């Protein structure tokens, strides 16, 4: 399948046919990675970067205890004072 690179604003663009997008499991507004390899341009679906809370704490075996900490000024800081 062939395409044409065309001007789009200050950039260039190529239109991807719907059949290619659906085969690659891509849709409008999906994030993609664009990789340059010698004389090829590879476009692939971007990996998920956001982790859920469960994913962030997966494998965590420590314990947590809530505690107090000192918020007093060490210099001339002012915290929520009414003047």
Strand partners, 42: 35
Angstrom CA distances, 4 to 14, 38, 53, 72, 77, stand at: 6, 20, 44, 64, 60
Domain that holds residue 11: 6-56
Does residue 30 fall inside a structural domain? yes
Q: How many domains does the chain have?
A: 1
Tokens at 32, concatenated: 């993609």
Does residue 21 fall inside a structural domain? yes
Residues 28, 82: Cα–Cα separation, whole Å? 51
Does residue 71 fall inside a structural domain? no
Residues 54, 28: Cα–Cα separation, whole Å? 29
Per-residue pLDDT tens digits for 9-47: 999 999 999 999 999 999 999 999 999 999 999 999 998
For residue 43, the domain's CATH number is 2.10.260.10
Does residue 24 fall inside a structural domain? yes
Does residue 76 fall inside a structural domain? no
Does residue 50 fall inside a structural domain? yes
- pLDDT value of residue 3: 87
Residues 15, 24: Cα–Cα separation, whole Å? 14
């Amino acid at each position: 399948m062939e395409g044409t690179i065309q001007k789009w604003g200050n950039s260039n663009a190529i239109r991807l046919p719907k059949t290619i997008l659906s085969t690659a499991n891509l849709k409008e507004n999906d994030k993609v990675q664009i990789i340059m390899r010698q004389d090829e341009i590879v476009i692939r679906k971007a990996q998920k970067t956001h982790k859920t809370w469960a994913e962030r704490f997966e494998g965590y075996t420590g314990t947590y205890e809530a505690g107090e900490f000192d918020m007093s000024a060490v210099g001339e800081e002012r915290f929520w004072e009414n003047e």
